[in-house]
Structure 1
């Protein structure tokens, strides 16, 4: 069982905790590490070095990592989803809603803990990167031990790259320590230009590629430990961001003059993954989440190149991903609302729709119902839903927010679409290989109706727009859309477009003129059964059909809801977050991001 492996990893992480402490930003800037085990002990054997690296993995997990904040709270609002519905201007809570509405201040409650945790991960990685190559076993050990230590070294180089990547895409130019704090001559470092950090970690990842094995060479829980495909995929993604747009000190969105060099890195890395035969799409989109991720099992096709291990039932180690899904029993989930315009962006034949979005709640009797307000403004994310959690199943009458679901850092469909995007940009149009990669993802979405995917454009602009749309449909609820839109310099454009289309729904304008104003759902049913279609006007009935309940649909969508979506977004400011006030107080060399 996967869960046993996770719990083993979490228990091993105590070694790194003892070695480094849980570094907050302030601790990193003005304290030296306290240690019960010194470095010579921790890095004396393969076993203890493995424990240290497993501890670095641990900094990805928990509610301050990809268990909640970095995965589901930092990634909304955009044209796909929004945080909790809240009509207060700018969010009004000084936390999750304010951040989602682009109204965060430097004192926002959910800024500092993730920021600290990312730097704690970098500190732990730096200690491992310093010490593993110096181990006598690394140089003179048996072939087996050398291979194990080289793998650990490649893994921790990749983990450090991921920590830096997350910092850059949220804060831009950041403090960039590449050695342990105990070795730093000055702990109050100035910020480093993100391009320098990108180039450094891209070089590290190139080194790591040759140190870690392919997934089929190790088997077991290969998805939770970094393998060669994961390194290459992460390197490709970071290269696309390095060549993409970002908010610069000029207060404008800019990209590097040599951005095509980075697109070439992305294309080549993805091409090598595709040709390796190590990874493949799961034939059924729903299975990725319902059969494997939500069931605490490893996806067997290599669709998930790397996932963050979660378990333990503690906020520091587990995930709260089900809070984005439908409300179940006593648990008031529904923290992530999918926009009606996103719901209606799916073709009726696209199997991803009913996986990615849900239009029901589940009461403590296990009956599926429409949400009490029952409008298309209350549609939940669906990939990490509590009613899909098995091994063990969560009782709807038990209050729990921690479900042990892993977070997918990168999937094979992302590799295919990154390849298609990069190849199109470099070639000035879609090559047959790019079209094939793109259509593989789309055909899987239309499983059973592959002939209905439509004609794929091959001109550069048309294919790029198809990529934008396909990534939207493929990765809903996976924390990808906002950052994609930023690197394309389309975030403001797409938010405005979504709000304009929401208004069209309210006004019953094309293409939404035929949507029903009310719908009827079956009462006391363990499956969600709608009497009338979501695409056509409702039937004229004197009373609800027997056994069905009438609920509002488009009539429940209000101007207040529309105005709330990303309501404080300001271009050339909101693409980055403010640095936490505590971080600036600890290091006066940090320059606050523009507009904060």
Structure 2
């Protein structure tokens, strides 16, 4: 919940931002701005400049931002989670990779991201021009430099999201009022990445560490800048779909792996700022209860608030376990489905499984009932964990969206070390095992032996990130930068078929037997071992488990429910530009391959 940054709906920068949205529609050029505040007033003092920067933060959240669409539609389908239901020209079309140019779920977030870029550009230009930036009091200079670093970082986040979804996007680096043509040419993403990585180097020196700032994670701090810079460097050094229609990586990729390694190493050396929460579950309990985590594992998160579609979030209402409107928790959940192979990717003693995956729905009387194997839902943002409870039919739950956690820093460090050295170093192994040991709390002997060859350690990193970051909007983009998305989608289909057919290595029951113990579910048999039982014993209920799986989940026929049903490698790694945007550019915008 946005408890630190108070939202300002009409600040000075609004008078130019109207023109920034014209990326998709020339008619916006005729819209008159609503704000009566001039640029000079908006940047006349520190307080007004702060309000202007809050206006930049505003563009992170809401239905067209990281409140639902960018973070819960765009990252799926993958090998972990799919969107629920049959195909449509909306979120399910995105998930199944049948991306039509008229899909508004593509267009509206695209426009909001560019509004964020424009607002950031105006702040980036104006804040250093303020007299107080160079000649103010020490306190004024310190705060304005912090604001400057924040907007450099926010612009990098907006453009990063645009690049990883659309590729070579227009990348304006100055405000609209200085552009003679608002429909600027597409920029080479490598050039844009280089610019953003340099911007973040500068921002690192402008913003404070978390403990110095005295704020929560809704404002950018030094840890957030370093973590984002590492992530951008790995994407710049990774594979990407090029205009040729091929997945390619640049020859200089190790240069960027070194940047990532060094930034992560800096963070690993500052454990007083950010470190792992000892409990994986506690990360999400605190997030859904709006509590401060002294470990600072979540390094940066988008603040939600206001109970509306423009500034709040719908995590817990859209996704998570299905919750009946008449329960104490209020209606919600069911928008994302956890795939059977993902459930079985977890060891039975891995504490992440029952946090990441929910195996129940909540009924009208608050009693939980089990979900079948093809109906499992994600669990990190579940509504029934919300504290205080939010009964009724409220769409906006107030959950913040975490961009990056310290666990990500540990695994990025391990990945980069392995790539740079040709084998995992002792430091890389230590970072990797730190994440695993937390996952197996109380059973650390089960973490297994860490591989010591480059290829095997890379495979272990790929798997560990899979288990650690389920439903955090990370997996699909990781697979793209590794050029593994097509492979993992096919492996997922094969694994679900093997689960359905009870083939090795899946020794899984066809039925589970359960009963309620109060409101909770009690299981009779193991998820991981077959049973000879086919009829429920007295007092127990039978649940179809592998028996529930059908071919629809795999091949999507006839209802197009199947995983990534229309995925085509060399096309589906990027979104298309929507038709209105293409029309507005009047032939100057090159469509992405295959569309």
List per-residue Cα deviations over 1:406-432 (Å, max 9, x = no partner). Answer: 000000000000000011000000000
The answer (yes or no) to whether the contact 1:13–1:51 under 8 Å persists in 2 is no
Mapping for residues 154-169 of structure 1, pairs under 5 Å: 154-169=149-164
Unaligned runs of 5+ in 2: 326-330, 556-561
Paired with 2:222 and 2:350, the residues of 1 have a C-alpha distance of 32
Aligned residues: 578
Secondary structure class of the residue paired with 2:350: coil
The answer (yes or no) to whether the contact 1:368–1:526 under 8 Å persists in 2 is yes
- Identify the match of residue 234 of structure 1 among 220, 228, 233: 228
Mapping for residues 308-387 of structure 1, pairs under 5 Å: 308-322=302-316, 323-330=318-325, 331-371=331-371, 375-387=372-384
Unaligned runs of 5+ in 1: none
1:525 equivalent to 2:523? Answer: no
Aligned to 1:585: 583
Mapping for residues 52-63 of structure 1, pairs under 5 Å: 52-63=52-63
List per-residue Cα deviations over 1:380-410 (Å, max 9, x = no partner). Answer: 00100010011x2122xx1122100000000
- Identify the match of residue 455 of structure 1 among 449, 457, 460: 449
Residue 542 of structure 1 deviates from its aligned partner by: 4.6
Paired with 1:121 and 1:310, the residues of 2 have a C-alpha distance of 16
1:38 equivalent to 2:38? Answer: yes
Mapping for residues 101-140 of structure 1, pairs under 5 Å: 101-140=96-135
Paired with 1:142 and 1:567, the residues of 2 have a C-alpha distance of 60
1:274 equivalent to 2:268? Answer: yes
Residue 220 of structure 1 deviates from its aligned partner by: 2.9
Residue 308 of structure 1 deviates from its aligned partner by: 0.3
Aligned to 1:17: 14
The answer (yes or no) to whether the contact 2:535–2:542 under 8 Å persists in 1 is no
1:472 equivalent to 2:472? Answer: no
User: So what's the TM-score if we normalise by structure 1?
Assistant: 0.95
Paired with 2:10 and 2:259, the residues of 1 have a C-alpha distance of 34
Aligned to 1:482: 476
CA gap of 1:85–1:190, structure 2 versus 1, over 3 A, is same
Paired with 1:213 and 1:332, the residues of 2 have a C-alpha distance of 38
CA gap of 1:521–1:574, structure 2 versus 1, over 3 A, is same
Secondary structure class of the residue paired with 2:521: coil
Moved more, 146-155 or 317-326: 317-326
The answer (yes or no) to whether the contact 1:81–1:338 under 8 Å persists in 2 is yes
Residue 21 of structure 1 deviates from its aligned partner by: 3.6
Residue 81 of structure 1 deviates from its aligned partner by: 0.7
Secondary structure class of the residue paired with 2:299: strand
Residue 335 of structure 1 deviates from its aligned partner by: 0.7
Residue 544 of structure 1 deviates from its aligned partner by: 3.6
Secondary structure class of the residue paired with 1:229: helix
Aligned to 1:298: 292
Aligned to 2:389: 393
Aligned to 2:573: 575
Secondary structure class of the residue paired with 2:307: coil
RMSD: 1.6
List per-residue Cα deviations over 1:147-191 (Å, max 9, x = no partner). Answer: 000000000000000000000000000011111111101212111
The answer (yes or no) to whether the contact 2:12–2:41 under 8 Å persists in 1 is no
Paired with 2:393 and 2:20, the residues of 1 have a C-alpha distance of 31
Paired with 2:95 and 2:28, the residues of 1 have a C-alpha distance of 31
Paired with 2:494 and 2:236, the residues of 1 have a C-alpha distance of 31
Paired with 2:306 and 2:383, the residues of 1 have a C-alpha distance of 17
- Identify the match of residue 536 of structure 1 among 521, 529, 536: 529
Paired with 2:342 and 2:365, the residues of 1 have a C-alpha distance of 30
User: So what's the TM-score if we normalise by structure 2?
Assistant: 0.95
